[in-house]
Chain A
Amino acid sequence: MPTATRTQNPAADRIEKSVELKAPISRVWRALTDHNEFGAWFRVQLDGPFRAGEVATGKVLHPGFEQLTWRAIIQAIDPEQYFAFTWHPYAVDPAVDYSSETPTLVEFHLEKSATGTLLKVTESGFSDIPDERRNEAFLRNSEGWAIQIKNIEDYVAQHP
């Protein structure tokens, strides 16, 4: 089914999307990891190919943000399975030095599905707390977290 992207566990300090694509894994993989193809849909003109462990830079092509440099560190390229980079999301203010902030980790997981490819995208690390503690707080206790955040959201909704 051509489902729209789905946000899972929206309360945690991560964003998770699942999208079912009617294209073979090899096609999706190329669109993710070939720097020209990635740039075409991500709207960035990259200076060169992605290489694991290296910095990738380019020019942002989003209308209105063309003066910005796109910058990411490629963390992993596992052919047709896993692609990951770290970057600073929403780094749209040229006057702000984002390099001192903790970067987030963007991960793409690819799986073969009945109709093509199941792509899971995760962006995590919006907090700068250590992984161990974040895992405990957000993952192992995800149920508790969900209940707590529900209370907080209820409160927030009543106090706009």
Chain B
Amino acid sequence: MSPSTPESGPRSRTARRGESTSRGRAPARASHRASSPPASARTASTFAALGDRTRLSLLSRLSRDGPWSISQLTHGSHLTRQAITKHLRVLERARIVRCVRSGRHSLFEMDPEPVHEVRDYLDRISAEWDRALARLRSFVED
């Protein structure tokens, strides 16, 4: 069974981007960032990962608390363990969810950073449109 107090354990953050089975490998986060694709490509994959009802509800649960094991996420859901696993992997590949180890258990928690990136990206484009439309307004009204 799953550990009853998942939040009390130390959060090992070694497993990222589908590396949940590679025991103890360092995350090398800095180098990952340096070679990461442009923001728009990342945000596209974030949107794609979010564009599914089941994943949204999984993420909604993970955003409230966690980390949770697959068993815990399956319990109280109408989905099979296989379905939950599949959706978690999609979220994990998009870096929205990461797998953390607690003893011999795999737990899943949300990584807010990609959601931040999506918000920032849309905010920037939205602000660009505000400025462009303000210029359009003075262009046609003057």
A22 interface contact, C-beta 8 A: yes
**Is B51 within 8 A of A21, CB to CB?**
no
Q: Which residues of A31-74 are within 8 A (CB) of B?
A: 31-32, 37, 40-43
Given that A101-B44, A123-B125, A151-B64 are contacting pairs, would A144 and B53 also be in contact in the complex, using a CB cutoff of 8 Å?
A: yes
Whether A15 lies near B126 (C-beta < 8 A) is yes
Query: In angstroms, how far is the closest chain A Cβ from the Cβ of B48?
Result: 5
Check B57 for interface membership: any CB of A closer than 8 A.
yes
Flag if A23 contacts B140 (CB, 8 Å).
yes
Say yes or no: is A129 at the interface (Cβ < 8 Å to chain B). Answer: yes
Pick from A21, A138, A141: contact of B137, CB below 8 A.
A21
Total cross-chain contacts (CB, 8 A)? 134
* B-side interface residues, number (CB < 8 Å): 43
Known: A41-B139, A126-B47, A127-B51. A148 touches B60 (CB 8 A): yes
Inside 8 A of A137's CB, which chain B residues have their CB? 50-53, 56
Interface residue B7 (Cβ < 8 Å from any Cβ of A): no
In-complex Cβ contact of B59 among A98, A148, A154 (8 A): A148
B139 touches A145 (CB 8 A): no
Given contacts A90-B121, A127-B46, A144-B56, 13 further A-B contacts (CB under 8 A): A13-B51, A40-B139, A41-B132, A101-B40, A126-B122, A133-B51, A137-B50, A137-B51, A137-B53, A148-B59, A151-B60, A152-B115, A155-B112
